[in-house]
Structure 1
Amino acid sequence: MTTKRIFVITGPTGSGKTTVSHYLRSQYQIPQVITHTTRAPREGEVSGRDYYFETPTSFATKHYLEHVTYSGNQYGSSREGLAAAWERSPLISIVLDTAGAITYARELGEQAVVIYLEVA
């Protein structure tokens, strides 16, 4: 059985986190974990592809490794989202801020491979 791993991509704004995540998906078929939010979808966004768009009530039913409130909306990554991504591949990725990356390292131990990007 293949060990499940998650590449946790973190670093300052503008360091290329999303670009690296897209590269992993396009070149190596490593899916990105879909996270949850209570904000309304923007034009072209699709629930289950870009985010899981939740109501405040449904958001509260998930089991989050990390979550934040930003501009009055809730955002978080759940154990349910991890399980769904791992059903597709034993190697997955997620883009997180540094605090979220620390949480993943603490909660998932060796399953979390933290990649810190920095612009030189």
Structure 2
Amino acid sequence: MYQVKDKEKIFIYTGPDGSGRKTLAKMVATAFDMETVLSYTTRPPRHYETNGEDYHFVTEETFQKMHQQQEFLESVDIDGYRYGIREQDIVGAFKDHKLVYLTLNPEGADKLKQMYGKNVVRIFIYADRETVIKRQQERQDDEVEIRRHMSHYDEIMAHKPNCEHAFENYDLPQVSYQISELIESYLDRDFIVSEY
């Protein structure tokens, strides 16, 4: 298994679907030299998702083959779809970056925490049930999909205390600023304060 170096950090965004985890993760990453590692999934892309940008969308057959070749660090089944993270993608991201981020379900977040210990920081992003439903409707998820997500809402919310940090996403710019400050606190940078 890859040995994460001291200054290398893996930030994992988790929380209910529709909480804005991905949007926040992308916003925060722009303030830092942060590389994302995408999951592989067998589920079809939603109308606003792009292959290679949101996920690696693969067939069941491809996923199975990768699984047999033990390419995945962790893989989970959710509602009949499979998701997996490849270790070589994490290793690749660390080649040019000290900071890596992923958006994972709680199970995946915990598995990576067990593997990489203190180098993994789990950030739980949430919003109340009504807000989450409204956001999913705004991005035009179909009703079946929304019901499927909401059936996991309480179970995912119960995971909040396991994470190192939690943010209620009520205002994107505000919360992305708070998360940026948090990430800053993990970086032991030597700032030179200059007087103007």
Report the TM-score when normalising by structure 2: 0.51
Residue 45 of structure 1 and its aligned partner are, at CA, apart by 4.2
Task: Specify which structure has the higher proportion of helix.
Answer: 2
Q: Does 1:84 align with 2:105?
A: no
Pick from 114, 127, 151 the counterpart of residue 106 of structure 1.
Answer: 114
Identity %: 30
Inter-partner Cα distance in structure 2 for 1:88 and 1:22? 18
Report the aligned-residue RMSD. 2.7
Question: Greater relative contact order (Cα 8 A, min sep 6): structure 1 or 2?
Answer: 1
Output the amino acid matched with 2:99.
Answer: L
Does the aligned pair in 2 maintain the 1:39–1:74 contact within 8 Å? Answer: yes
Count of aligned positions: 120
Q: Does 1:64 align with 2:68?
A: no
Larger radius of gyration: 2
Pick from 31, 34, 37 the counterpart of residue 33 of structure 1.
Answer: 37
Residue 102 of structure 1 and its aligned partner are, at CA, apart by 1.3
Residue 4 of structure 1 and its aligned partner are, at CA, apart by 2.2
Output the amino acid matched with 1:90.
Answer: K
Does the aligned pair in 1 maintain the 2:76–2:108 contact within 8 Å? Answer: no
Closer, same or farther: CA 12–50 of 1 in aligned 2, 3 Å: closer
Residue 27 of structure 1 and its aligned partner are, at CA, apart by 1.7
Inter-partner Cα distance in structure 2 for 1:44 and 1:12? 18
Q: Which runs of 5+ in 1 are unaligned?
A: none
Does the aligned pair in 2 maintain the 1:12–1:118 contact within 8 Å? Answer: no
Residue 54 of structure 1 and its aligned partner are, at CA, apart by 1.8
Tell me which residue corresponds to 1:74.
82
Tell me which residue corresponds to 2:52.
48
Does the aligned pair in 2 maintain the 1:65–1:77 contact within 8 Å? Answer: yes
Q: Which runs of 5+ in 2 are unaligned?
A: 125-165, 171-196
